[in-house]
Amino acid sequence: MTDKEKITVLDMRVAGKQYKEISAELGIEVSALKVFVHRQKHKDVRRCEQCKKVLPKDARKTQRFCSDKCRNDWWYSHQGEIQGERLNTFICAVCGKGFTSYKQAKYCSRACFYASRRS
């Protein structure tokens, strides 16, 4: 197995693929895959916290993401947690659409907010 194949195997496992599927895709024996993945569990493999890709071996200790994009995506999706707030689901009082917001909200959009004012 090449390093690239190893990373692919781990990525596919994270994505929930069966050994059989990985075997078919990469042409590696299922038994070899199992041994490899089992061994990896005992190793300290660090992964991007956003996309779960394996970080390169020479990644800095403080590195948590494989790319700036992943870091931004992560911060974006965890904004509420960082502020100690939870993402809640609400139903818009005007159009009845479901939407999510960190703050208490009644309307899904500015348009609906203004529509509520007008009526």
Residue at token pair 């609906």: 112
Chain residues in the site for Zn ion (CB under 5 A): 48, 50-51, 53, 66, 70, 92, 94-95, 97, 108, 112
Q: Which is nearer to Zn ion, 24 or 111 (CB)?
A: 111
Burial class (CB within 10 angstroms; exposed 0-12, middle 13-18, buried 19+) of 80: middle
Q: In the complex with Zn ion, which residue's Cβ is closer, 28 or 108?
A: 108
**Closest distance to Zn ion from the beta carbon of 48 (Å):** 3
Question: Smallest gap, in angstroms, from Cβ of residue 31 to Zn ion?
Answer: 30
Q: How far is CA 29 from CA 17, 23, 78, 80, in A?
A: 15, 6, 39, 44
Least separation, in Å, of the C-beta of 67 and Zn ion? 6
CA–CA gap between residue 103 and residue 119 (Å, rounded): 24
The residue among 38 and 103 lying less far from Zn ion, judged by its C-beta, is 103
